[in-house]
């Protein structure tokens, strides 16, 4: 380890993409990950008889000793005017009975691969306007790089991981055709196509990092719809599948799983010179380095910086501006499940197989809010994998009559999900929890989240559009709706150490490197300055990580 040049903290899509890039360019890397290494064939084979009982084998809410992984702020008041937009299902009834928004969980995985271990394989490009929110619409912030530069890195990643997508998507322009042909829409999704057409939002195959044909030694998808539970075949571009093997193959990567970084240490010149971490047995080690890339996601990245206080950085590393932890954004979500008159067996296919991009151009037309959203067919993503979901959520009652309804209606459910823009606001941020501690005795991160008026108006449009689609399907009956209005259950969290040219309002500069600490860089959701129009962020995280890796090599070389 003495010759380690760069330490990467976090083995998710940002950290592993950076490790792949750095090692392939001759840099020696140590990657420290707080979670474990998973083995697909053992940990999520999807061959169990009781397959529907198995989620991805990680508890996002509590650690092995039952301690909460995160704290939460105060739930936002919902308001009686939003009664028609509360979450419910036909069996359980209303999900949140009180008048305040409920913090359910931060959806994530700690492990080598990070949240790509359970992601649905969506590989979206942000719309070019999403990088210009401040200059175009006077909201949020502008990115410190152009779309054309970002596109160069999108292309590198898409080719490497194998993105299957349709060509000619007018709402997501691109210079080059996608590397792989798109997947076909499932039968269940095609059943909804006419309804999408009826509202003027054509449904097309989603852009997926799931192979439609063999690519780089990996097999194609067999449409088991279990991405969220863990892909057993390796056709889905989990970061551990697509980046780790080539990085490890260079012999320049040292991977440390199950270690918790507790502090970044700085020298007298204000440069990070060591990383302190706790091993599973509680003992602590220290690792010297030339530079560090923090890639722990938008919740853990600010936590680590806030924990790393020193004389030079009394409010946390790289936080003399006070910006660390601010500008947290998530994605608004609205989902709905409806029963169709006939059987479509939506458990076959991919979790989010189709998307309508019609509304996914930020502020494409005046609608009373800034931003946009996309609407997707999301049968697997909403848990339509087998009959237990029907019995627990959609078909109420019990006894013989319930069994008859189960037999008559299983296979009839279809799901839609709308994902939308979230503008940064002062009430949505991450800090350190004053009372909760993790296994190392350090404060856990605390998540604060409140929808602004812009989000509420956008959410209303998302809900009304989703209902309009089902309204255009003869005989469809909505049996479940879930909403970000009354429930926080975010997965796409971004922005808490965002990039920007102004060091007073951004933690990282245009290269993804700290404004305050010259050998500290960032990869992962924390640096992404805006949330896009509901675009899944993994592809963008990977692209930015590779770009930052390139820029960091350049900086370190220039510094000698």
| Min dist. Cβ of residue 63 to another protein (A) | 17
135, 403, 440, 559: residue in contact with another protein (rule CB under 8 A): 403
Measured CA to CA, the distance from residue 439 to residue 444 in angstroms comes to: 10
β-pair type (354-356, 71-72) = unpaired
Q: Determine the Cα–Cα distance for residues 17 and 261; give it in Å rounded to an integer.
A: 19
CA-CA distance, 357 to 354, in Å (whole number)? 10
Task: Specify the stretch interacting with another protein by CB under 8 A; choose among 30-38, 168-176, 346-354, 430-438.
Answer: 346-354
Could you say which residues in the range 85-124 bind another protein, by CB under 8 A?
Answer: 92, 97
Q: Which of 181, 386, 510, 518 binds another protein (CB under 8 A)?
A: 386
239 CB-near residues (< 8 Å, 6+ apart) = 11, 12, 13, 15, 16, 17, 112, 113, 114, 116, 117, 542
CB of residue 348 to another protein, shortest distance in Å? 3
Q: Note the helical H segments in 394-508.
A: 399-409, 453-471
d(CA 496, CA 424): 10
SS3 state at 200: coil
Pick out residues in 421-440 that bind another protein (CB under 8 A): none
Residue 16 near residue 31 (C-beta atoms within 8 A): yes
**Residues 525 and 508 sit within 8 Å (Cβ to Cβ):** no
Which member of 8, 185, 324, 508 binds another protein (CB under 8 A)? 185
64 binds another protein (CB under 8 A): no
Q: Is 385 in the site for another protein (CB under 8 A)?
A: yes
Q: Which is nearer to another protein, 230 or 532 (CB)?
A: 230
Which of 145-153, 180-188, 359-367, 445-453 is the region at the interface with another protein (rule: CB under 8 A)? 180-188
Residue 344 is a binding residue for another protein (CB under 8 A): yes
Among 199, 262, 274, 406, binds another protein (CB under 8 A): 406
Residue number with CB closer to another protein (53 or 251): 53
Report the 10 Å Cβ neighbour count for 293: 29
Pattern 263-302, another protein, x by CB under 8 A: ----------------------------------------
Q: β-pairing, 260-266 with 272-278?
A: antiparallel
Interface with another protein: number of residues (CB under 8 A): 46
CA distance 427 to 193: 39
Which of 222/557 has CB closer to another protein? 222
- For residues 474 and 191, the answer to whether their CB atoms sit within 8 Å is no
Nearer residue to another protein within complex by CB, 187 or 280: 187
Residue 218 as a binder of another protein (CB under 8 A): the answer is no
- State how far the Cα of 324 lies from the Cα of 445, in Å rounded to an integer: 12
**Which listed residue (347, 358, 446, 487) binds another protein by CB under 8 A?**
347
Interface pick for another protein out of 388, 427, 437, 502 (rule CB under 8 A): 388
Interaction pattern, residues 39-58, with another protein; x per rule: CB under 8 A: ------xxxxxxxxx-----
Cβ atoms 90, 339 nearer than 8 A: no
Which residues lie near another protein (CB under 8 A)? 45-53, 92, 97, 184-187, 190, 221-226, 232, 343-345, 347-349, 385-388, 390-392, 398-400, 402-404, 406-407, 410-411
């Amino acid at each position: 380890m003495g010759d380690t040049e760069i330490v990467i903290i976090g083995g998710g899509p940002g950290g592993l993409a950076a490790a792949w890039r750095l090692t392939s360019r001759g840099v020696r890397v140590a990657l420290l990950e707080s979670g474990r290494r998973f083995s697909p064939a053992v940990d999520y084979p999807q061959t169990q008889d009781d397959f529907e009982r198995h989620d991805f084998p990680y508890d996002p809410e509590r650690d092995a000793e039952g301690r909460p992984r995160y704290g939460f702020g105060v739930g936002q008041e919902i308001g009686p005017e939003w009664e028609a937009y509360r979450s419910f299902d036909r069996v359980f009834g209303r999900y949140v009975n009180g008048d305040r928004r409920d913090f359910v969980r931060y959806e994530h995985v700690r492990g080598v691969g990070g949240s790509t271990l359970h992601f649905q394989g969506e590989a979206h490009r942000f719309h070019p306007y999403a990088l210009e929110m401040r200059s175009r619409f006077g909201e949020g912030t502008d990115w410190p790089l152009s779309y054309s530069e970002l596109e160069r890195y999108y292309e590198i990643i898409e080719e490497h991981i194998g993105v299957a997508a349709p060509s000619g998507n007018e709402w997501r322009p691109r210079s080059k055709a996608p590397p792989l042909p798109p997947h076909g829409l499932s039968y269940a999704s095609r059943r909804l196509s006419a309804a999408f057409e009826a509202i003027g939002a054509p449904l097309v195959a989603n852009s997926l990092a799931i192979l439609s044909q063999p690519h780089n030694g990996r097999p194609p998808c067999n449409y088991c719809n279990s991405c969220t539970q863990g892909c057993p075949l390796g056709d889905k571009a989990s970061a551990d599948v697509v980046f780790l093997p080539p990085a490890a193959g260079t012999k320049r990567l040292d991977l440390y799983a199950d270690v918790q970084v507790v502090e970044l240490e700085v020298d007298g010149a204000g440069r990070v010179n060591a990383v302190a971490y706790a091993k599973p047995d509680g003992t602590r080690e220290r690792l010297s380095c030339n530079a560090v890339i923090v890639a722990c996601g938008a919740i853990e990245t600010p936590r680590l910086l806030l924990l790393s206080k020193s004389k030079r950085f009394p409010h946390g590393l790289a936080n003399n501006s006070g910006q660390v932890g601010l500008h947290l954004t998530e994605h608004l979500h609205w989902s709905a499940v409806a029963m169709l008159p006939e059987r479509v067996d939506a458990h076959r296919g991919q979790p989010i197989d189709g998307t309508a991009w019609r509304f996914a151009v930020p502020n494409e037309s005046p609608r009373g809010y800034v931003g946009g959203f996309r609407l997707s067919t999301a049968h697997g993503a909403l848990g339509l994998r087998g009959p237990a979901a029907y019995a627990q959520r959609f078909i109420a009652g019990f006894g013989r009559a319930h069994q008859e309804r189960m037999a008559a209606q299983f296979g009839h459910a279809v799901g839609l999900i709308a994902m939308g823009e979230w503008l940064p606001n002062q009430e949505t941020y991450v800090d350190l929890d004053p009372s909760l501690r993790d296994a190392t005795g350090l404060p856990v991160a605390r998540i604060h989240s409140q929808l602004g008026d812009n989000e509420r108006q956008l959410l209303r449009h998302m809900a009304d559009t989703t209902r309009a689609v089902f309204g255009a399907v003869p005989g469809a009956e909505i049996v479940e709706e879930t909403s970000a209005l009354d429930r926080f259950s975010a997965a796409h969290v971004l922005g808490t150490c965002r990039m920007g040219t102004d060091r007073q309002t951004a933690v990282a500069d245009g290269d993804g490197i700290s404004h305050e600490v010259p050998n500290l860089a960032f990869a992962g959701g924390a640096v992404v300055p805006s949330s896009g129009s509901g675009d899944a962020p993994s592809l963008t995280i990977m692209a930015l990580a590779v770009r930052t890796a390139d820029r960091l090599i350049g900086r370190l070389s220039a510094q000698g």
